[in-house]
């Protein structure tokens, strides 16, 4: 690594950010080492003596928390093994100051200290922290103790159940029935489902809105006030008031003039004249009057009268213009009423949905993810609870670190702010720490999770909030930039700077300060290319819908682009293209293809890579219910429920489990005698071996399905039934993952429900959801994933093929959300967390008011800003090479990529790069290329072979051989012969004996740890405890017996502190493995003494009366010890606690027992 001022500045900034003595707010460019800073800061906090449990590090994802935990554990573990010089060098690099001996001692102890700390390091997501906190304070937070967290699938299922209940009950509710009728008359099933899905996605905002106004009625009143409408306003009343104010005489003259004018005049004027002559019918007003004064698109007509009409009535144009202006105002008022009525109905529906949804959660003891955040926030600010909760937390949290702070939502920030409420009050409630700190690291340019509630402004607002609080107590909140990239080559970073230097690309990404990335790898070879977009065939017709992949023609630009990208990667592999930055040839795992969304191109890209023979990891997200292997398993389950379903049976037979051909199925079904295919298959099974095998197996599963749970059924099918092998043989190794997830789903179903196959098949489609696949696992395969999925990842080569479309309006069912700050709400954190959401539903854009039009425009601007931030994230994933390309639809084939699209922005950035070359592409087009350090070369290392398909050996499918005898290690305390019967507790004598035995056993466990002079007094105090119910005489007798036993000359050394207690033993006696544990063991220079206690057993009067099982046990112990200490005398004894009697066992007797045992 080079040494220059920029690198030195960055290193100093990293050390300053990791300084545990100050609070810090870090703005980190992509690839600038923010994870390292986090790990460094946690490490330095530990080095300065902070309790591990006193550090709370909140991450955005579980993967990020796991990565930090791994990095930290690796570092601390490594420190325990480094020599002094190496450890001193690492500590100096971390601390930036001379290293003391105490620093080194502390560093070596950190690993054990961290592992042994109660609770350990708290590196977790915000939701995980909130869940743990609520489970710690369920009563205070008013949540069910032992609650479970409802994931997205469970939440959707609960909301669907709530929908059915609300609509079902509402049909018989006279007050609610108009709400149902309203939606039934205006919204079809598909749009209604989208509307409710959008409402579910913003249920937090809806709940806050209803809570702020004490329910739907209050929210509706506030809505009318916001729209400046009287509470009793109606559409009919507004129209009547408008009619009452009409200049009827003038309008009749103007209408007559129009009727005598041109054809156009008559077309407008005749309906107006007829309506005026008909007595001004209110019900016809909108159809007639608006059609006359507005165009078909709803815009005011530019000219209401021609010269002919004006010649007939000179003031005709003025009269009509005045009326048109009044109609424009009326239209706005009617739009307000439409918005108000539709929103009011939606609020009433939403209120009932949320109430029912809340009841369902309570009944099942569930909290959803929003509940975790909001309940925690309320817990931390509730005046009656906060002193107690904060007192407990004050003793647990001294330092808070927030990762990916730009993606933290306002509500999550309010939780952090509440936790840090006392951080800037001197030393808070803690006197044993120098200063408590808050640390956040993020990058507003990478805030791309608005759909999860993240807002870039919240990052800045929270900084300002904490800065003011710190300054109020003369503390400092350092604002530290990290601008140097350790990831990307200069070519990539120069393009990024050039793209976002353009005014069109700045909004949402660049603030007042121009974007400038510094490359740590300044001498690295880098390459960026801009390929011309693929255009559709000129003869192609515009389709109103997006065809599925199977119907995309060969000339479709999406398919052609996917094929050319796959071919290019194949050429890199075949030609052994060199990657100078890595000093080796290009491998499939070096390539990452990023798209904005999973669409037809996404599927075409994966398919093209497979066709080209390029190893590909598949999709980053998998919809489990759409996987072919899963569909085949579901079909088999459906057959087991209803074998008479011919279509389901045909699906099963043609699938991978039975591999019927078209001819096999046709021959079975055509001209059959039985009405059902299943009965025909049973009847004709002997005609073909394939039919016989299918018939027998299906009959077996049909019978089995009635007797076992879904998990057992499918586990047997996939395992012993050879189903997995058949599915993988037909579908490929990629079928294993959905099969595993399917089996996991059967277990998840059975944990929450009474198991039945019918119940599982009904439950599965609603809970299957998407499976997130971790593609950053070091597999040598091309990764195809969305930019959101690539957050935090990088690759030597990045290809951006989805660049020519602007983002579609994420309308959320047509809902428009605003917000109004409410200072009275006691909620810490950014202003957005203190705002009351405001809901508007215009139903259509034509119904927009000034308010909704403004919100619609604001939403569009915010979507475009995030669209540009997404481009920043995509560009900065590249390490060495970046390829930008795209495809055009029919509408843009001639004009090219839309203005403001990714392709357009990158092309503008290319215009500002020096020495851009034109190169010929293999398919005949020309691309633009820019390179830095193209002559930087290093000797290529041998390429790692691509992932090969694993072929299971034959033994994997064979029954396992018999286990050797015995199948598990032999325990001497549980030998082959049975133990003697214990004393019966039913007689008074035996009850006393059992109590004496337990007391003796306890004394023999504890007294050896005491000095000899203190044993008698301690034993007397113990025996005198009232709970033992011993009279003084019994106490004295028992004390005398125990002390005599402890003083036995032969075994007295056993009851000294140097002896081992509960000592484990393990080894082999003959061909048997023996594992056991002895009560007392003493290893001396020439002798080994071993004793085992026997409690609740009848004591024998002589050795000859000892049960053979006990003799075998001690013989095995003695045999194991003799192997370890062959030159020492091994002495063994039993202690009968019933009588506090120690019985030595003769060595010759034990030798005989051992010989007899090993001979069997």
pLDDT confidence band for 156 (50 / 70 / 90):
confident
**Confidence check: pLDDT of 134 > 80:** yes
pLDDT score at 112: 84
pLDDT confidence band for 944 (50 / 70 / 90):
very low
State whether 664 and 763 are in the same domain. Answer: yes
Tokens representing residue 1144 in the block: 């030595």
Residue 574 domain-assigned?
A: yes
pLDDT in tens, 851-862: 999 999 999 999
**In the predicted model, what is the mean pLDDT of the chain?**
85
State whether 167 and 285 are in the same domain. Answer: no
pLDDT score at 935: 64
Q: How many CA atoms lie within 13 A of 43 on its CB side?
A: 31
State whether 177 and 56 are in the same domain. Answer: no
pLDDT in tens, 620-676: 777 888 889 999 999 999 999 999 999 999 999 999 999 999 999 999 999 889 999
**Confidence check: pLDDT of 828 > 60:** no
Indicate the pTM of the whole model.
0.75
Instruction: Give the count of beta carbons closer than 10 Å to the beta carbon of residue 1159.
Output: 7
pLDDT score at 841: 93
**Confidence check: pLDDT of 940 > 70:** no
pLDDT score at 946: 46
State whether 1030 and 1070 are in the same domain. Answer: yes
**Confidence check: pLDDT of 428 > 50:** no
pLDDT score at 936: 57
CATH at 443: 3.40.50.300
pLDDT score at 823: 44
CB 1001 within 8 A of CB 1137: yes
pLDDT in tens, 684-736: 999 999 999 999 999 999 999 989 999 999 999 999 899 999 999 888 777 88
Residue 507 domain-assigned?
A: no
Q: How far is residue 789's CA from residue 1123's CA, in Å, rounded to a whole number?
A: 59
Answer with the residue of higher pLDDT: 176 or 3.
176
Angle at alpha carbon of residue 542, lines to 539 and 547, rounded to 5°: 110
State whether 1012 and 1068 are in the same domain. Answer: yes
Q: Where are the alpha helices (DSSP H) in 1007-1136?
A: 1012-1023, 1032-1046, 1108-1124
Residue with token string 């993606």: 407
pLDDT confidence band for 395 (50 / 70 / 90):
low
For residue 674, the enclosing domain spans 623-771
Tokens representing residue 542 in the block: 């515009």
State whether 72 and 213 are in the same domain. Answer: no
Tokens representing residue 12 in the block: 């100093």
Q: How far is residue 351's CA from residue 203's CA, in Å, rounded to a whole number?
A: 10
Rounded to 5 degrees, φ, ψ at 843 are 75, -50
Structural domains in the chain (count):
6
Residue 612 domain-assigned?
A: yes
CATH at 683: 1.10.486.10
pLDDT score at 550: 46
Residue 303 domain-assigned?
A: yes
Residue 693 domain-assigned?
A: yes
Q: How far is residue 870's CA from residue 451's CA, in Å, rounded to a whole number?
A: 13
pLDDT in tens, 743-763: 999 998 998 888 999 999 998
The residue among 427, 529, 612, 376 whose CA lies nearest residue 910 is 529
Residue that terminates a domain, selected from 903, 932, 961? 932
Q: How far is residue 511's CA from residue 638's CA, in Å, rounded to a whole number?
A: 58
* Kind of pairing between the strands at 878-884 and 526-530: parallel
State whether 1028 and 1141 are in the same domain. Answer: yes
**Confidence check: pLDDT of 833 > 90:** no
Query: How far is C-alpha 153 from the geometric centre of its chain's CA atoms?
Result: 12
Residue 832 domain-assigned?
A: no
Residue 830 domain-assigned?
A: no
H-run or E-run covering 1074 = strand 1072-1083
**Confidence check: pLDDT of 941 > 80:** no
pLDDT in tens, 1082-1127: 888 889 999 888 876 667 888 888 888 888 888 999 999 999 998 8
Residue that terminates a domain, selected from 911, 932, 953? 932
**Confidence check: pLDDT of 939 > 50:** no
pLDDT confidence band for 8 (50 / 70 / 90):
confident
Cβ neighbours of residue 168 closer than 8 Å, sequence gap 6 or more: none
Q: How far is residue 969's CA from residue 392's CA, in Å, rounded to a whole number?
A: 47
CATH at 1035: 3.90.320.10
Q: Where are the alpha helices (DSSP H) in 584-688?
A: 600-611, 628-641, 646-654, 662-669, 677-683
pLDDT in tens, 472-491: 888 888 899 888 888 999 99
CATH at 615: 3.40.50
Residue 504 domain-assigned?
A: no
Answer with the residue of higher pLDDT: 393 or 1040.
1040
pLDDT in tens, 264-273: 888 988 999 9
The residue among 290, 249, 327, 296 whose CA lies nearest residue 257 is 249
State whether 155 and 84 are in the same domain. Answer: no
State whether 530 and 384 are in the same domain. Answer: no
State whether 437 and 549 are in the same domain. Answer: no
State whether 641 and 762 are in the same domain. Answer: yes
Residue with token string 């990023």: 594
Rounded to 5 degrees, φ, ψ at 692 are -65, -45
What beta strand segments (E) does 714-834 contain? 770-772, 782-786, 795-800, 816-821
State whether 63 and 113 are in the same domain. Answer: yes
């Amino acid at each position: 690594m080079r040494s220059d001022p920029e690198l030195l500045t960055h290193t100093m900034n990293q050390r300053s950010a990791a300084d545990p003595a100050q609070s810090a707010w870090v703005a980190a460019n992509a690839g600038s080492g923010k994870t390292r800073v986090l790990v460094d800061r946690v490490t330095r906090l530990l080095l300065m003596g902070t309790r591990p449990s006193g550090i709370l590090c909140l991450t955005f994802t579980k993967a990020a928390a796991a990565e930090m935990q791994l990095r930290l554990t690796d570092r601390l573990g490594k420190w325990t093994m480094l020599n002094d010089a190496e450890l001193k060098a690492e500590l100096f690099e971390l601390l930036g100051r001379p290293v003391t001996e105490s620093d080194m001692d502390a560093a070596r102890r950190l690993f054990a200290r961290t592992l042994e700390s109660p609770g350990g390091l708290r590196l977790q997501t915000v939701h995980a922290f909130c869940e743990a906190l609520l489970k710690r304070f369920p009563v205070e937070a008013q949540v069910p103790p032992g609650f479970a967290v409802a994931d997205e699938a469970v939440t959707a299922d609960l909301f669907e159940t709530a929908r059915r209940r609300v609509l079902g009950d509402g049909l018989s509710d006279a007050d609610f029935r108009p709400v149902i009728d309203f939606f039934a008359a205006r919204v079809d099933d598909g749009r209604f489902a989208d509307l409710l899905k959008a409402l579910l996605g913003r249920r937090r905002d809806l709940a806050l809105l209803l809570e702020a106004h004490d329910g739907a009625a209050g929210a509706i009143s506030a809505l009318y006030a916001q729209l400046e409408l009287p509470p009793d306003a109606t559409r009919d009343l507004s129209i009547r008031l408008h009619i009452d104010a009409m200049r009827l005489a003038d309008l009749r003259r103007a209408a007559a003039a129009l009727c005598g004018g041109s054809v156009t005049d008559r077309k407008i004027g005749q309906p107006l004249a007829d309506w005026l002559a008909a007595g001004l019918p209110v019900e016809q007003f909108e159809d007639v009057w608006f059609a006359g004064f507005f165009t078909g698109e709803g815009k005011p007509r530019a000219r209401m009268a021609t010269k002919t009409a004006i010649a007939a009535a000179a003031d005709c144009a003025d009269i009509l213009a005045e009326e048109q202006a009044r109609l424009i105002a009326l239209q706005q008022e009617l739009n307000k009423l439409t918005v108000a009525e539709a929103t009011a109905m939606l609020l009433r529906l939403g209120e009932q949905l949320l109430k029912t949804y809340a009841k369902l959660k309570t009944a099942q003891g569930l909290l959803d993810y929003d509940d975790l955040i909001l309940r925690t926030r309320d817990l931390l600010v509730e005046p009656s609870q906060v002193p107690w909760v904060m007192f407990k937390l004050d003793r647990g949290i001294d330092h808070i670190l927030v990762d990916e702070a730009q993606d933290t939502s306002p509500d999550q920030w309010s939780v952090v702010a509440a936790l840090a409420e006392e951080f800037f009050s001197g030393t808070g409630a803690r006197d044993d720490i120098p200063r408590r700190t808050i640390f956040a690291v993020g990058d507003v340019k990478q805030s791309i999770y608005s759909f999860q509630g993240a807002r870039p402004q919240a990052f800045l607002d929270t900084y300002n909030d904490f800065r003011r609080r710190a300054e109020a107590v003369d503390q400092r909140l350092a604002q530290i930039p990290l601008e140097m990239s350790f990831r990307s080559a200069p070519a990539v970073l120069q393009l990024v700077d050039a793209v976002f230097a353009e005014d069109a690309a700045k909004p949402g990404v660049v603030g007042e300060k121009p974007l400038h990335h510094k490359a740590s790898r300044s001498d690295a070879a880098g390459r960026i290319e801009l390929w011309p977009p693929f255009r559709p065939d000129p003869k192609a017709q515009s389709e109103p819908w997006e065809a599925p992949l199977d119907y995309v023609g060969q000339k479709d630009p999406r398919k052609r682009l996917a094929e050319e990208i796959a071919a290019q990667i194949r050429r890199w592999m075949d030609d052994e293209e060199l990657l100078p930055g890595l000093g080796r040839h290009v491998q499939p795992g070096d390539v990452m293809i990023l798209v904005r969304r999973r669409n037809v191109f996404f599927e075409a890209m994966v398919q093209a890579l497979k066709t080209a023979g390029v190893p590909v990891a598949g999709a980053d997200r998998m919809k489990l219910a759409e996987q072919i292997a899963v569909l085949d398993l579901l079909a088999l389950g459906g057959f087991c429920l209803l074998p008479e379903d011919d279509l389901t049976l045909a699906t099963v037979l043609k699938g991978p489990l039975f591999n019927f051909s078209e001819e096999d199925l046709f021959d079975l079904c055509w001209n059959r005698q039985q009405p059902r295919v299943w009965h025909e298959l049973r009847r004709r099974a002997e005609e073909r071996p394939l039919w016989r095998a299918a018939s027998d197996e299906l009959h077996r599963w049909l019978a089995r399905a009635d007797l076992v749970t879904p998990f057992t059924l499918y586990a047997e099918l996939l395992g012993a039934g050879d189903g997995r092998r058949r599915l993988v043989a037909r579908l490929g190794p990629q079928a294993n993952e959905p099969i595993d997830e399917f089996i996991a789903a059967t277990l998840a179903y059975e944990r929450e429900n009474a198991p039945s196959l019918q119940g599982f098949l009904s439950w599965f489609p609603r809970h299957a959801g998407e499976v997130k696949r971790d593609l950053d696992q070091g597999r040598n395969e091309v990764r195809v994933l969305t930019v959101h999925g690539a957050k935090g990842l990088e690759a030597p080569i990045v290809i951006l093929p989805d660049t020519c479309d602007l983002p579609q309006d994420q309308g959320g069912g047509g809902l428009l959300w605003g917000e109004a700050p409410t200072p009275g709400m006691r909620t810490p954190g950014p202003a957005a967390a203190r705002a009351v959401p405001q809901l508007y539903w215009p139903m259509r854009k034509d119904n927009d008011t000034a308010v909704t039009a403004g919100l619609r425009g604001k939403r569009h601007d915010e979507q475009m800003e995030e669209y540009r931030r997404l481009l920043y994230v995509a560009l900065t994933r590249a390490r060495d090479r970046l390829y930008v390309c795209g495809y055009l639809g029919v509408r843009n084939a001639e004009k090219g990529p839309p203005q403001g699209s990714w392709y357009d922005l990158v092309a503008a950035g290319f215009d500002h790069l020096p020495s851009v070359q034109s190169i010929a592409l293999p398919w005949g087009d020309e691309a633009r290329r820019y390179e830095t350090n193209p002559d930087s070369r290093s000797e290529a290392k041998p390429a790692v072979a691509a992932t090969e398909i694993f072929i299971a050996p034959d033994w994997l499918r064979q029954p396992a051989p018999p286990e050797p005898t015995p199948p598990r290690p032999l325990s001497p305390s549980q030998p082959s012969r049975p133990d003697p019967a214990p004393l019966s507790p039913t007689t008074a004598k035996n009850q006393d004996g059992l109590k004496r035995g337990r007391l003796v056993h306890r004394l023999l466990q504890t007294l050896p740890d005491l000095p000899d002079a203190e044993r008698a007094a301690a034993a007397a105090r113990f025996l005198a405890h009232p709970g033992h119910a011993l009279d003084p005489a019994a106490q004295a007798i028992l004390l005398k017996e125990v002390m005599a036993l402890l003083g036995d000359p032969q075994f007295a050394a056993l009851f000294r502190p140097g002896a081992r207690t509960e000592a484990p033993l393990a080894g082999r006696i003959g061909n048997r493995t023996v594992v056991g544990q002895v009560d007392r063991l003493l290893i001396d220079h020439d002798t080994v003494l071993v004793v085992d206690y026997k409690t609740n057993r009848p004591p024998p009067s002589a050795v000859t009366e000892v049960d053979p099982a006990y003799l075998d046990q001690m013989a095995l112990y003695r045999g194991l010890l003799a192997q370890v200490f062959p030159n020492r005398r091994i002495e063994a004894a039993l202690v009968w606690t019933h009588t506090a009697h120690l019985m030595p066992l003769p060595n010759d007797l034990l030798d005989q027992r051992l010989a007899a045992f090993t001979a069997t």
